[in-house]
Amino acid sequence: MSNLLEILGSRYPIIQGPIGAMNDAKYIAAVCDAGAFGMISLGFSNPEETRRLVDGVKSLTDKPFGANVMIMNPANPEILKILAAAGVKFVSTSAGSPSKIYPLIHELGMKGFHVMLALSHAIRAAKEGVDGLIVSGLESGGLRSLGSESTTMILVPLVADHVKIPVVAAGGIADRRGYRAALALGAQGVQIGTRLIASEESPAPPAWKKAILDCGDGGTRLLSLKSMMMRVIPNQKMIDLATDPAFDLSREYNLMNAPKGWMGGDFDLFPAGAGQVAALISEIKPIREIIAEMVS
Ligand SMILES: Cc1cc2nc3c(=O)[nH]c(=O)nc-3n(C[C@H](O)[C@H](O)[C@H](O)COP(=O)(O)O)c2cc1C
């Protein structure tokens, strides 16, 4: 089986969870300089934005970094060529069939890991030639499916038992205990999101970081957005609206408003995004400290 650290080229097998709203070159470079693997998030991005972000990160660090692309973005062929020309060797992919994009990823000399929320999709992606899988459990921050899902504790070993490519665990990891548990479950590395939002260098506003620090056990919920769900920390407005079980929250909250709500600290516009692991986070720390503690 190929080795994740060799693929990434970072010191530690810790990937920064891409978060579309937080594409900040200084933050990504700080992740790389701490020994983890920084990621640019290029969901529905375009070539100009890709160039700007790649140049920004490269001007701040000489460490390797990668990018996340959404398979359905029609600009991907050009975006991937820009990434490859800049020396980026790793992409993660989500939302779509890998067979559409992996031939080009490989032709450009890059490796790609596909983000998976379920075993059946993991097996299919492995057959379609992805180089590894980012296996995201139910407790994870970010978008979730409408289907019945397993937690990281279940999904990681399940997928690891069924594939012969590297597995990265995502969801529920914020410290050394979670990191070690993920490796014990059969993952070669981890992807972390919420812990890094609540870091000193993260571009998230104080209100978002505070919402994570204040979030206790059971403090997140899945907000239904019709065809998918987003894990959020409900604020008073969302709690009030949700008291009426007949009220359709997707009429009130639009995913397109999430970046503005989060980065503006306006959680009436869109509730703060975070994974269940927020309950374990009680301090804003420098990224270097977070990573050093995790691998200690
Ligand atoms: C607020 C929020 C937004 C996210 N947005 C994205 C995104 O735009 N693209 C993506 O691939 N993953 C996204 N994720 C998932 C993260 O990259 C990562 O896999 C996840 O946060 C790991 O779970 P954790 O938060 O428990 O560490 C998001 C996560 C959070 C918390």
pLDDT tens for each residue of 267-279: 999 999 999 999 9
Can you list the pairs that 261-268 forms with residues at least 24 positions away whose Cβ atoms lie under 8 Å? 262/21, 262/204, 262/205, 262/208, 263/21, 263/22, 263/203, 263/204, 263/205, 263/208, 264/205, 265/205, 265/206, 265/207, 265/208, 267/207, 267/211, 267/233, 267/235, 267/237, 267/238, 268/235, 268/237
The rounded Å distance from CA 250 to ligand 1 centre is 20
Measured in Å, residue 95 CA sits from the centre of ligand 1 at: 13
Q: Does the beta carbon of 43 lie inside 6 Å of ligand 1?
A: yes
With the most atoms of ligand 1 within 8 angstroms of its CB, the residue from 140, 233, 294 to mutate is 140
pLDDT for 226 equals 87
Q: Name the stretches of the chain with pLDDT < 50.
A: none
Structure letter (DSSP) for residue 243: T
Predicted confidence at residue 95, as pLDDT, reads: 86
The pLDDT of residue 96 is 87
Question: What's the whole-model pTM score?
Answer: 0.97
Ligand 1 pocket member 41 (CB < 6 A): yes
- In this predicted structure, what is the pLDDT of residue 21? 85
Nearest alpha-carbon partner for 191 in 21, 63, 19 = 19
Q: Give the residue, by CA position, lying nearest to ligand 1 atom 20.
A: 193
Ligand 1 lined by 93 (C-beta under 6 Å): no
Which tokens belong to 180?
Answer: 């070690």
- What is the 17 CA–ligand 1 centroid distance (Å)? 5
Distance in Å, CA 203 to ligand 1 centroid: 15
Q: What is the DSSP letter of 18?
A: P
Domains in the chain, ordered, with CATH?
4-202+283-294 (3.20.20.70), 206-279 (no CATH)
Return the best residue to mutate from 14, 16, 19 for the ligand 1 pocket (most ligand atoms within 8 A of CB).
19
Question: Atom 6 (ligand 1): residue with closest C-alpha?
Answer: 19
Q: Could you tell me if the CB of 18 is within 6 A of ligand 1?
A: yes
The closest of 37, 197, 176 to 113, measured between CA atoms, is 37
Q: Which atom of ligand 1 is nearest to the CA of 192?
A: 27
Q: What separation in Å is there between the alpha carbon of 141 and the centre of ligand 1?
A: 5
